[in-house]
Amino acid sequence: MTAATNLSGGRDDHLRGAIDRLKSHFGDRLTTAVAVRDQHGRDVSWHLPHPPDAVVFPETAEEVSRIVAICHTFDIPVIPFGTGTSCEGHVAALQGGVCVDLSRLDRILAVQPDDMTATVEAGVTRKRLNAELRDTGLFFPVDPGADASLGGMASTRASGTNAMRYGTMKDNVISLGVVLPNGDRIRTASHARKSAAGYDLTRLWVGSEGTLGIVTDVTVKLHPIPDHVVAVSASFSTLEQAVGFVLVATRLTDTLARIELLDELQVEAVNRYSKLALPVEPTLFIELHGSRGAVDAALPLVEEEAHAAGASRFETAVSAEARSRLWQARHDIWWANLALRPGASALPTDSCVPVSRLVEAILAAKADVSELGLVAPICGHVGDGNFHLCVLFDPADPDERHRVEVLSKRLASRAIALNGTSTGEHGIGHGKMAALVAEHGQAVRVMAAIKRAIDPHNIMNPGKIFTLAEAPPFS
């Protein structure tokens, strides 16, 4: 496909035809305004923005289908957009094209308490869904921090602090409504909790990052709100002690729901931003879920083993207000880190290793940061082996930018060498395509074969996950 030319650089016939056709259907719900295009060409990552040529705001799945069909006819790229909170340049319009903003697909279509499921349109955010569920005794547990849309979360295979107990989007999506690259609509599965009928199309689209079609609605699993919840913050003298305790804690009790790591620099940032007074030491935020009896029985055991592992402090938060304050501070880490170096850009890294290799991976990452002379607090969902560095740097400084790139490559390479993955939850986008090839090798050609079969014109979010030129067809 010939890359579409941005409006600012002159129109080609295909692009003009597609935009004119879309304008006739959507009127002022299609815009080519520079400010709106710029907003839709960037996410929270450090990657350079690439604005689309136009942004359109559909209100129904049928309208999404019409948009994609028109773009397919004119061979124009289509880039789905949720809330723009992805981290690897997922929404960048690398070849121009039409951005489809799904925020107006915002209806909660059905809540089935007896089935413990909910079906929502792609633009519904996780916080809104949980607000709707408040009186049902159920909740949706996947919490990537940002108030992301459910469609975007499915597309990027998001997870977050609760993944250790409740799983990621891969584990919590039952069925999807999808618009294919030619505009056709399909449903990937029924609402049954299990099926042996055909290929697992739901799992194919979960994590496909908009490269195989557009998710228009999501049916998700719901979970009972725990009878009793206790949060803990525990400080340790060394990072090795804190991470080492994770290996112990994950085998102590099945009430363990969350274990989050903050290194000492991360604690300093959280204290400043969220007005906490935690000791500036490596710290774990822990949460236990279950019946009151189970949690009360587990808590003394966790405390005893934490002290045995070197914890200098072990404090509980039982009230909803105290727990909310602790976890809000954790979710505000992005803003806390930006405040450490005002005016700096931030690279939120992401890798995941088997829990048994976590100490090795995190200590090596810490050493890399020191060697490269960078500022990078460490945090992570360490209960399932996933950790992050938030690297603060000046992208206008070529030397500092080079050091950041070296660090990012080292993190991905080391995770792969430890039998882990270059990304546990942020995805590939266009920022980690080289790491995907290093991780999967020839399997990338299988992915490319699927892409060619479903999207032969390569109009769906082109240039993400892999490039077809680098993954030649099987002979």
Topology adopted by domain 226-340: Alpha-Beta Plaits (3.30.70)
In CATH terms, are 108-224 and 343-428 the same topology?
no
Residue 4 pLDDT more than 70?
no
pLDDT for 24 = 96
Structure tokens at 386: 């996933």
CA dihedral 441, 444, 445, 449 (to 10 degrees): 170
| More confident of the two residues 404 and 48 | 404
Residue 53 pLDDT more than 60?
yes
Report yes or no: 364 and 421 within 8 Å, Cβ to Cβ.
no
Tell me the average pLDDT across 413-434: 94
Q: How confident is the model at residue 113 (pLDDT cuts 50, 70, 90)?
A: very high
pLDDT for 370 = 97
Distance (Å, whole) CA 199 – CA 189: 10
Report yes or no: 214 and 80 within 8 Å, Cβ to Cβ.
yes
pLDDT for 471 = 77
**pLDDT tens digits along 8-30:** 444 588 999 999 999 999 999 99
To the nearest whole number, what is the mean pLDDT of the chain? 94
pLDDT for 472 = 76
Report yes or no: 186 and 180 within 8 Å, Cβ to Cβ.
yes
Topology adopted by domain 343-428: Alpha-Beta Plaits (3.30.70)
pTM here is: 0.92
CATH number of 108-224: 3.30.465.10
Of 14-23, 37-46, 135-144, the range with the lowest mean pLDDT is: 37-46
| More confident of the two residues 2 and 337 | 337
DSSP 297-359: HHHHHHHHHHHHTTEEEEEEE-SHHHHHHHHHHHHTHHHHHHHHSTT-EEEE--EE--GGGHH
pLDDT for 10 = 42
Tell me the average pLDDT across 146-159: 94
pLDDT for 6 = 47
**Domain coordinates in residue numbering, the chain:** 7-101, 108-224, 226-340, 343-428, 433-470
CATH number of 7-101: 3.30.43.10
Secondary structure letter of residue 30 according to DSSP = E
Q: How large a percentage of the chain has pLDDT more than 90?
A: 90
